[in-house]
Amino acid sequence: MFLLNGYIRVYTGKGQGKTTSSFGAGLRAVGAGYNVFLVQFLKSREDSALNILKDIDGFTIERYGREGKLKGDTLPVDYELAEKAFEAAEEAVFSGEYDLVIMDEVNVALDQELIDVERVLGLIEDKPVEVEVILTGRYAHPEVIDVADLVTEMHPVKHYLKSGVEAREGFDY
């Protein structure tokens, strides 16, 4: 299938739902006959949603993250993994194979200066017009927000995790 105009979407903020929203957009796209590429920056933890997504024809997933990576705990391998993730996204955007490219947690990789914002802006500017790109993660860079066509900020109003409840498999990851 061929999109007439692929937009740039940003899902950011401190609230839950950024990755989940991108997964939903990907499922909707695949359901309409489009091909989706999901690249996850900084993620290695198990995510039960991926158990289903990985088996869906037209939904390709690549993950680049180190187990236990925390903000401020940056090792040389984190730069290498972020570079590989960006290269995978770049290849997918220009391959002609994918209609939607999801760059999950790229905003956090930018915030942690694992990749340069100019590279992300260049990718956005140079992408084929028919490719849609979703960038997720907290701390969206102001320049990325400026060039986006759609920006959604997830804002937590109330969350059971704040009361000491542990994240639950199948619901929170």
**13, containing H or E segment:** strand 8-13
Bridge partner residues of 13 (DSSP) = 154
**Least reliable range by pLDDT among 17-21, 28-32, 64-68, 118-122:** 64-68
Bigger pLDDT: 72 vs 134? 134
- Helix 76-94 / helix 117-126 crossing angle, nearest 10 deg: 10
pTM, entire model: 0.92
Instruction: Give pLDDT, residue 92.
Output: 99
At a CB cut-off of 8 Å and minimum separation 6, what does 172 contact? 16, 161
Amino acid at 77: V
Bridge partner residues of 40 (DSSP) = 63, 104
Amino acid at 169: E
Averaged pLDDT, 12-26: 96
Given a contact cutoff of 8 angstroms between Cβ atoms, the answer to whether 11 and 145 are in contact is: no
Tokens 């903000």 appear where? Answer: 71
CATH superfamily membership of 8-99+106-130: P-loop containing nucleotide triphosphate hydrolases (3.40.50.300)
At a CB cut-off of 8 Å and minimum separation 6, what does 153 contact? 12, 13, 15
Q: What is the pLDDT of residues 124-144, one digit of tens each?
A: 999 999 999 999 999 999 999
